[in-house]
A = this chain, B = another copy of it.
Amino acid sequence: MRSESPDVPIDLDAIDPRSTPGLPGHKVTGKDPKLWARAEVERIGGELATQQEMLFAQAAVDPGQGRSVLLVLQAMDCGGKDGAVKRVAGAMNPLGLHIKAFGPPTSQERRGGFLWRIRKALPPVGYVGVFNRSHYEDVLVVRVNGLAPESVWRPRYEKINEFEREVVEGGTAVVKVMLHISRDEQRKRLMQRLVDPAKHWKFNPDDLDSRARWDDYHAAYAEALARCDSDSAPWYVLPADRKWYRDWALSHLLRQTFADLKLSYPQPDYDLAAQRRRLEADG
């Protein structure tokens, strides 16, 4: 993602939610793209699990030099955040995951400033954190529903940029992803929640109010994505109407994030040969 300048909002309408950018064509893979992508998600999942273990191991051996990863997930309702976490983060060891879902802040949380609860939820060193919704709600739902005046939410872009800079400087790789679905796809998924008894609990009548403000939300996203995009904490818009593409694109992105960290298993901080001898002597 990169708009020409923070003053030019990202044009979400120019990104087709059914498109599959970056996916090698049928002629390259020789397979149905959906089957190919699913197999790749499985394969990349194994790589992500190894990378996560290295991240964890390095932090265990030398916490001072340890790193973390933070994935920030945003989407319109039914955008597939939960599904993406299940499929992509689910490939990693749950012991090394630090997942936090943010709902509307409590009055206690509001008192601390909008970033207070976010800072508290940052992944510890060595962990892969996932924010299911995030501080971006404070320039999205807050703006669209007028929960705070513009004089309050507008300065938040800069506060968010400062905050994320700090987080990155502290050793955490930050990736921000908007799962981008179409209005039609949202309708289909909302209807599924109203039809399938196993999904009724996921539906909230408020979702239809948010849906009625689709364009306002897109405008708010467009500005947030432009103003809070940076080299160190970039935004990515992933077309998400096709779940198999969404999972592949997110896996791919996380693999890239890990690759940039150039992780490896740490050297032992004890004398290997001496320990082996001791264990051998012990029978």
**Contacts from A to B (Cβ < 8 Å):** 53, 57-58, 60-61, 82, 85-86, 89-90, 92-95, 97, 99, 101, 130, 132, 187, 190-191, 194-195, 197-198, 200-205, 208, 211-212, 265-268, 270, 272, 275-276, 278-279, 282-283
Chain B residues in 8 Å Cβ range of A203: 268, 270, 275
In the assembled complex, the Cα of A187 lies from the Cα of B283 at a distance in Å of 8
In the assembled complex, the Cα of A60 lies from the Cα of B201 at a distance in Å of 8
Contact present for B190 and A279 (CB under 8 Å): yes
Contact present for A85 and B90 (CB under 8 Å): no
Rounded to whole Å, the gap between the CB of A229 and the closest CB of chain B is 26
Rounded to whole Å, the gap between the CB of A269 and the closest CB of chain B is 9
Contact present for B95 and A82 (CB under 8 Å): yes
In the assembled complex, the Cα of A205 lies from the Cα of B270 at a distance in Å of 7
Interchain CB contact (< 8 A) of A90 among B53, B93, B279 = B93
Chain B residues in 8 Å Cβ range of A191: 276, 279
Contact present for B132 and A272 (CB under 8 Å): no
Q: Of residues A93, A198, A204, which shows the largest number of chain B Cβ atoms within 10 Å of its Cβ?
A: A93
Contact present for A201 and B85 (CB under 8 Å): no
* Chain B: CB-nearest residue to A50: B198
Contact present for B94 and A94 (CB under 8 Å): yes
Chain B residues in 8 Å Cβ range of A99: 94-95, 97
Q: Given A86-B94, A95-B85, A275-B194, is A266 in contact with B200 using a C-beta cutoff of 8 Å? A: yes
In the assembled complex, the Cα of A272 lies from the Cα of B205 at a distance in Å of 10
New A-B pairs, 18, CB < 8 Å, besides A190-B279, A194-B279? A53-B198, A57-B201, A58-B201, A60-B201, A85-B93, A86-B93, A86-B94, A89-B94, A94-B97, A94-B99, A97-B99, A187-B283, A194-B275, A203-B270, A204-B270, A208-B275, A208-B278, A208-B279
Chain B residues in 8 Å Cβ range of A61: 201
Contact present for A194 and B272 (CB under 8 Å): yes
In the assembled complex, the Cα of A190 lies from the Cα of B276 at a distance in Å of 9
Chain B residues in 8 Å Cβ range of A53: 198
Rounded to whole Å, the gap between the CB of A212 and the closest CB of chain B is 7
Q: Given A268-B203, A272-B200, is A279 in contact with B187 using a C-beta cutoff of 8 Å? A: yes
Rounded to whole Å, the gap between the CB of A25 and the closest CB of chain B is 32
In the assembled complex, the Cα of A191 lies from the Cα of B194 at a distance in Å of 55
